[in-house]
Amino acid sequence: MKKVVKFGGSSLANAEQFRKVKEIITADPARVYVVPSAPGKRSSNDEKVTDLLYKSYELSEKGESIDEILGVIKARYDEIIEGLGLDVSLDEEFEIIKTNYSNKAGVAYAASRGEYLNGVLLAKYLGFPFIDAADVICFNEDDSFNAEKTDAKLQTKLREFDKAVIPGFYGSNSDGFIRTFSRGGSDITGSIVAGAINANIYENWTDVSGFMIADPRIVKNPASIKAITYRELRELSYMGATVLHEDAIFPVRKQGIPINIRNTNCPTDEGTLIVENTCRPSEYIITGIAGKKGFVAINIEKDMMNSEIGFGRKVLEAFEKYGISFEHTPSGIDTFSVLVHQPEFEGREQEVLSELHRSVNPDSVELQTDLALIAVVGRGMRSNHGVAASIFVALAKQGINIRMIDQGSSELNIIFGVKNSDYENAIKAVYDVFITNPSDLLKF
């Protein structure tokens, strides 16, 4: 049994958190490969070391002094070293960092030092070997991730070590330059390591006990999700769930390795298990609700549109031409709507509209702005009738007008659009009917 365990920034923000992490790792001998983030916030008004590193590099690029900010960053690590009574000094490491900054090592190099240094300290504290991610996580020339090369390197390297700490977030390209994933990317590193060694499970330790059914900023104390499939999570994550980096799913999904989201501050909580498939029925009919504000619908009308072959393609091409991705395309017999992110669309609005006029010669084009999209997701919806009816009755009871409806062909989700200003109330209404008062669900 081999587990890969990734600890997020808040789990490694200070010495006290490091102690919790060590306890978790030593509690289970299967927890052999450890992927740390950089120190995160110690309190809500604190700064993440990664953010400080980005700032420091910016200052260095402007030719301003970086002594003070590097001092602040070093103090974060020194606090951990002292708190744990480690016999290490990072003086030399910081000298190297300064030299590399002046040699223009790049912003990715700067950002990566957060994970690198935390990895050095964690390895020392656990008594595990340290493997520099620059030696095993490979990027291509165009900065994309090179999965094949990475898997080969990781497999060879990890055969040498039963246990190891491998910092998250970064790797290097074939020229030896440091490259990083996007923000939150240590989740991806953990998943890559788990995939490469075919781990039994990838544990992702953070500061919440897994995914909540709905955003806790909207629904008070929402219930947590015990088990969710990768597909359900994809449906929810693209709408804005933030616990796990979206791209962290792919390396483990290929091999059916489950991800377990766990809480470092509450290690006895089971957290959320993300799996390829499960026969565990979800506790409720729906697994989760997520959404996002800030969409605009471009509603195109044209008589006899349905018999005009290529109409949809031409419409979508107008968006493609200006680099705007679409979210949904609900259509009627003579109408075709395209839903896109409003901020993305605003800058190119007039160009897209004139392109549409040129290419499909519509009778009218109308814009519906300030829409929010909400996805209600759940594998339990497939086997239950009346789910959509219950959602829409719940919304109607709150006086919320539905602007658009789209049910994915997988029957895994129902997506609807409401006014931005109805967003929170709509989520609350759906949560209440399925989770708080399921006895209010319509019976047929």
- Residues lying near ligand ASP in the complex (CB under 6 A) are found at 9, 37-38, 48, 50, 114, 168-169, 183-187
Q: Tell me, rounded to whole angstroms, the distance of Cα 124 from its chain centroid.
A: 29
How many whole angstroms separate alpha carbon 78 and alpha carbon 53? 16
185 versus 251: smaller Cβ distance to ligand ASP: 185
Nearest approach in angstroms of CB 38 to ligand ASP is: 4
Nearest approach in angstroms of CB 112 to ligand ASP is: 9
172 versus 413: smaller Cβ distance to ligand ASP: 172
- Sheet containing 335-341: order of strands: 326-328, 335-341, 288-301, 364-377, 413-419, 404-407
Nearest approach in angstroms of CB 36 to ligand ASP is: 9
183 versus 254: smaller Cβ distance to ligand ASP: 183
Length of the chain: 444
69 versus 318: smaller Cβ distance to ligand ASP: 69
Nearest approach in angstroms of CB 182 to ligand ASP is: 8
37 versus 150: smaller Cβ distance to ligand ASP: 37
113 versus 403: smaller Cβ distance to ligand ASP: 113
185 versus 291: smaller Cβ distance to ligand ASP: 185
Q: Tell me, rounded to whole angstroms, the distance of Cα 277 from its chain centroid.
A: 20
Asked if residue 414 lies in contact with residue 387, where contact means CB atoms within 8 angstroms, the answer is yes
For residue 400, give every residue at least 6 positions away whose Cβ sits within 8 Å of its Cβ, in sequence order, or none.
418, 422, 425, 426, 429
Asked if residue 91 lies in contact with residue 97, where contact means CB atoms within 8 angstroms, the answer is no
9 versus 222: smaller Cβ distance to ligand ASP: 9
Nearest approach in angstroms of CB 94 to ligand ASP is: 18
Compute how many other C-beta atoms are within 10 angstroms of the C-beta atom of residue 217.
8
Angle between helices 387-397 and 423-431 (to 10 degrees): 130
Nearest approach in angstroms of CB 374 to ligand ASP is: 27
48 versus 403: smaller Cβ distance to ligand ASP: 48
Closest residue to ligand ASP in the complex (CB): 186
Nearest approach in angstroms of CB 291 to ligand ASP is: 24
Torsions phi, psi for 131 (to 5 deg): -115, 120
Q: Tell me, rounded to whole angstroms, the distance of Cα 28 from its chain centroid.
A: 27
Nearest approach in angstroms of CB 275 to ligand ASP is: 23
How many whole angstroms separate alpha carbon 392 and alpha carbon 438? 15
- Nearest C-alpha neighbor of 118 from the set 92, 80, 151: 80
56 versus 282: smaller Cβ distance to ligand ASP: 56
Nearest approach in angstroms of CB 220 to ligand ASP is: 28
Torsions phi, psi for 400 (to 5 deg): -95, 125
How many whole angstroms separate alpha carbon 27 and alpha carbon 24? 5
**AA identity, residue 257:** I
Nearest approach in angstroms of CB 283 to ligand ASP is: 29
Asked if residue 2 lies in contact with residue 29, where contact means CB atoms within 8 angstroms, the answer is no
Asked if residue 274 lies in contact with residue 224, where contact means CB atoms within 8 angstroms, the answer is no
For residue 56, give every residue at least 6 positions away whose Cβ sits within 8 Å of its Cβ, in sequence order, or none.
66, 69, 70, 73, 101, 110
